[in-house]
Every structure is written in structure tokens, then in C-alpha cells.
Amino acid sequence: MTPENRAAYWKANLGLLAILLTIWFIVSYGFGILLAPMLNSFSLGGYPLGFWFAQQGSIYVFMVLIFVYAYRMNTLDKQFGVDEE
């Protein structure tokens, strides 16, 4: 891998991480704390939505983000020719 490709690969990786961590921050901190009073006017499974995001929703979103990261990194690895297959 050339130094230019290595820098582009690292830049793409960091960009993906920034996007996914921003989503996680918005869901866990924004929905679970900042917007909780507004979201609590809705309910999900019998619980106020803000409470649900604080207790379970952010964990579910984090798990989905892990799979999205793995999928996108596999795609990125193939794109730059550093995949394991």
C-alpha cells in the first residue's frame, strides 16, 4: 500500500468512526438526557420514550452501529485491497 493510499484509508476509517460516534452520541446523550422530557410524552412498550432510550435504546443503537462499522470496514478493506480473503 502506498503512503497516499494508506492516508486515504485512514481518513476514510476516521470519517466513518466520526459519523458512527456522532450518531451514538445523539441517541444516547441527546435522546436519553437532553430530549428525554419531550420524548416522554410518547411511549414505547409501555415506557416513556425518553426513559426507553436512556435504558435500552442507546444500547440497541450501539449494537447496530457495531454491525454497520464491521460491514463498512469490510467494504473499505476490499476497496483498498487490504481485505483478508
Provide the residue-wise pLDDT of the chain in tens; the chain has 85 residues: 788 889 999 999 999 999 999 999 999 999 999 999 999 999 988 999 999 989 999 999 999 999 999 999 999 999 998 888 7
**Residues 33, 75 contacting (CB under 8 angstroms):** no
The reported pTM is 0.83
Number of domain units in the chain: 1
Number of Cβ within 10 Å of residue 78's Cβ equals 12
Residue numbers of the domain that contains 29: 3-80
DSSP string, 34-69: ISHHHHTTSEETTEEHHHHIIIIIHHHHHHHHHHHH
Residue 85 lies in a domain: no
